[in-house]
Chain A
Amino acid sequence: MTTTQYRVIGSRPVRHDGADKVTGKAIYTADTKLPGMLAGFVLRSPHAHARVVSIDTSQAEAMPGVHAVITGADFPNVEDKVADLGEGSVNLSYLSSNCMAQQKVLYRGHAVAAVAATDVHIAEEAAKKIQVEYEVLESVTWVLDAMKEDAPLLHDDLVTDSMGAKAEQPSNVPVHLHFEKGDAAAAFEEADLIVEREFRTATVHQGYIEPHAVVADYNEDGRLRIWTATQGSFTCRQQTAEVLQIPLGNVLVTPCEIGGGFGGKITVYLEPTAALLSKKSGRPVRIAMTRADVFEASGPTPGSFMRVKLGAKSDGTITAGEAWLAYDAGAYPGGMIGPGCMCVFSCYDIEHAVVDGYDVCLNKPKTSAYRAPGATQVAFATEQLVDELAQKLGMCELEIREKNAVKEGSRRVDGPVYPPIGLLECLDALKQSDHWNTPLSGPNRGRGIAAGFWFGCGLKSSAACTVNSDGTINLLEGSTDIGGSRTSIAMQLAEVLGLEAEDINPQVGDTDTAGYTDVTGGSRVTFATGMAAYEAGRDLQQQMRTLAADLWDCSADDISVGEDGSFSAGGKTVGFKELAVELFAAGEHLVGRATVSPECPTNGFGAQIADVEVDPETGKVTVLRYTTIQDAGKAIHPSYVEGQLQGGTVQGIGWALNEEYFYQDDDTMANASFLDYRMPTMLDVPMIDTIIVETGNPDHPYGVRGVGETPIVPPPAALANAIYNATDTRMTELPMSPPKLWKAMQANQTSE
Chain B
Amino acid sequence: MATVFIPAQLRELSGGLQSVELEARNVRDAVEQLDVMFPGLKERICTDGNISPSLQVSIDSVITSRGMIAKIQPHSEVHFIPAIGGG
Residues of A within 8 A of B (CB): 82, 84, 87-89, 161-165, 175, 177-180, 206, 261-264, 266, 338-339, 341-342, 354, 369-373, 414-419, 454-460, 521-524, 597, 599-601, 708-709
6 contacts between A and B (CB under 8 A): A164-B43, A175-B54, A179-B8, A338-B82, A371-B87, A709-B86
- B52 interfacial by beta-carbon distance below 8 Å: yes
Starting from the known contacts A177-B9, A455-B84, 4 additional A-B residue pairs (CB-CB under 8 Å) come to A266-B85, A414-B79, A417-B77, A599-B64
State whether A89 touches B87 (Cβ < 8 A): no
Contact partners of A338 in chain B: CB under 8 A? 54, 82-84
Contact partners of B86 in chain A: CB under 8 A? 87, 263, 369, 372-373, 454-457, 521-524, 709
Partner of A178, one of B8, B53, B64, B83: B8
Contact partners of A162 in chain B: CB under 8 A? 9
A-B contact count (CB 8 A): 115
Taking CB atoms and an 8 Å cut-off, the chain B residues in 19-76 that contact chain A are 43-45, 47, 52-55, 58, 61-65
State whether A419 touches B85 (Cβ < 8 A): no
- B81 interfacial by beta-carbon distance below 8 Å: yes
- A260 to nearest B CB, angstroms? 11
Knowing A414-B81, A600-B62 are in contact, say whether A163-B87 is a contact too (CB < 8 A). Answer: no
- A712 to nearest B CB, angstroms? 8
Contact partners of B64 in chain A: CB under 8 A? 599
State whether A88 touches B83 (Cβ < 8 A): yes
Bound CA–CA A576/B53 (angstroms): 45
Bound CA–CA A454/B55 (angstroms): 18
Bound CA–CA A521/B87 (angstroms): 5
- A291 to nearest B CB, angstroms? 20
Bound CA–CA A456/B84 (angstroms): 10
Bound CA–CA A418/B9 (angstroms): 22
Q: Across the two chains, which residue of chain A brings its CB closest to B6?
A: A415
Q: Across the two chains, which residue of chain B brings its CB closest to A163?
A: B9
Partner of A418, one of B54, B61, B62, B87: B61
Q: Across the two chains, which residue of chain A brings its CB closest to B10?
A: A163
Contact partners of A370 in chain B: CB under 8 A? 87
State whether B77 touches A165 (Cβ < 8 A): no
Q: Which 9 A-B pairs have the closest CB atoms?
A: A263-B87, A522-B86, A164-B44, A338-B82, A89-B53, A163-B9, A415-B79, A88-B85, A180-B8
Contact partners of B83 in chain A: CB under 8 A? 88-89, 338
State whether A416 touches B87 (Cβ < 8 A): no
State whether B82 touches A414 (Cβ < 8 A): yes
- A649 to nearest B CB, angstroms? 15
Knowing A163-B7, A415-B79, A599-B62 are in contact, say whether A84-B84 is a contact too (CB < 8 A). Answer: no
Interface size on B, residues (CB 8 A): 30
State whether A601 touches B53 (Cβ < 8 A): no
State whether B63 touches A601 (Cβ < 8 A): yes
State whether B61 touches A457 (Cβ < 8 A): no
Q: Across the two chains, which residue of chain B brings its CB closest to A597?
A: B65
Contact partners of B58 in chain A: CB under 8 A? 415-416
State whether B44 touches A84 (Cβ < 8 A): no
Residues of B within 8 A of A (CB): 5, 7-11, 18, 43-45, 47, 52-55, 58, 61-65, 77, 79, 81-87
Instruction: Determine which residue in A180, A414, A458, A601 has the highest number of CB atoms from chain B within 10 A of its CB, and name it.
Output: A414
Bound CA–CA A175/B53 (angstroms): 13
- A244 to nearest B CB, angstroms? 21
- B61 to nearest A CB, angstroms? 5
Knowing A163-B45, A523-B86 are in contact, say whether A416-B77 is a contact too (CB < 8 A). Answer: yes
Instruction: Determine which residue in A89, A342, A354 has the highest number of CB atoms from chain B within 10 A of its CB, and name it.
Output: A89
State whether A457 touches B84 (Cβ < 8 A): yes
Q: Across the two chains, which residue of chain A brings its CB closest to B48?
A: A82
- A667 to nearest B CB, angstroms? 26
Contact partners of B11 in chain A: CB under 8 A? 180
Q: Across the two chains, which residue of chain A brings its CB closest to B12?
A: A165
Bound CA–CA A373/B18 (angstroms): 28
Bound CA–CA A580/B84 (angstroms): 43
State whether A87 touches B44 (Cβ < 8 A): no
Knowing A165-B44, A262-B87 are in contact, say whether A419-B8 is a contact too (CB < 8 A). Answer: no
State whether A164 touches B45 (Cβ < 8 A): yes
Contact partners of A419 in chain B: CB under 8 A? 61
- A323 to nearest B CB, angstroms? 13
Bound CA–CA A177/B61 (angstroms): 20
Bound CA–CA A373/B10 (angstroms): 26
Instruction: Determine which residue in B58, B62, B79, B85 has the highest number of CB atoms from chain A within 10 A of its CB, and name it.
Output: B85
Partner of B54, one of A89, A341, A369, A597: A89
State whether A416 touches B81 (Cβ < 8 A): yes
State whether B43 touches A600 (Cβ < 8 A): no
Contact partners of A416 in chain B: CB under 8 A? 58, 61, 77, 79, 81
Q: Across the two chains, which residue of chain B brings its CB closest to A372?
A: B87
Bound CA–CA A709/B11 (angstroms): 33
Knowing A416-B58, A418-B61, A599-B62 are in contact, say whether A87-B82 is a contact too (CB < 8 A). Answer: no
Contact partners of B54 in chain A: CB under 8 A? 89, 161, 175, 338
- B43 to nearest A CB, angstroms? 6
Bound CA–CA A492/B55 (angstroms): 33
- A417 to nearest B CB, angstroms? 6
Contact partners of B82 in chain A: CB under 8 A? 177, 338-339, 341-342, 414
Contact partners of A163 in chain B: CB under 8 A? 7, 9-10, 44-45, 55
State whether B9 touches A415 (Cβ < 8 A): no
Bound CA–CA A600/B61 (angstroms): 7
Contact partners of B44 in chain A: CB under 8 A? 163-165
Q: Across the two chains, which residue of chain B brings its CB closest to A266?
A: B85
Bound CA–CA A597/B66 (angstroms): 10
Contact partners of B84 in chain A: CB under 8 A? 88, 338-339, 342, 455, 457
Instruction: Determine which residue in B8, B52, B62, B77 has the highest number of CB atoms from chain A within 10 A of its CB, and name it.
Output: B8
Bound CA–CA A180/B18 (angstroms): 9
- A427 to nearest B CB, angstroms? 22
Bound CA–CA A458/B58 (angstroms): 13
Bound CA–CA A178/B8 (angstroms): 6
Contact partners of B61 in chain A: CB under 8 A? 416-419, 600-601
Contact partners of B77 in chain A: CB under 8 A? 416-417
Bound CA–CA A708/B6 (angstroms): 33
Contact partners of B62 in chain A: CB under 8 A? 599-600
- A234 to nearest B CB, angstroms? 15
State whether B45 touches A369 (Cβ < 8 A): no
Bound CA–CA A708/B87 (angstroms): 8
Knowing A178-B9, A415-B79, A417-B77 are in contact, say whether A457-B63 is a contact too (CB < 8 A). Answer: yes
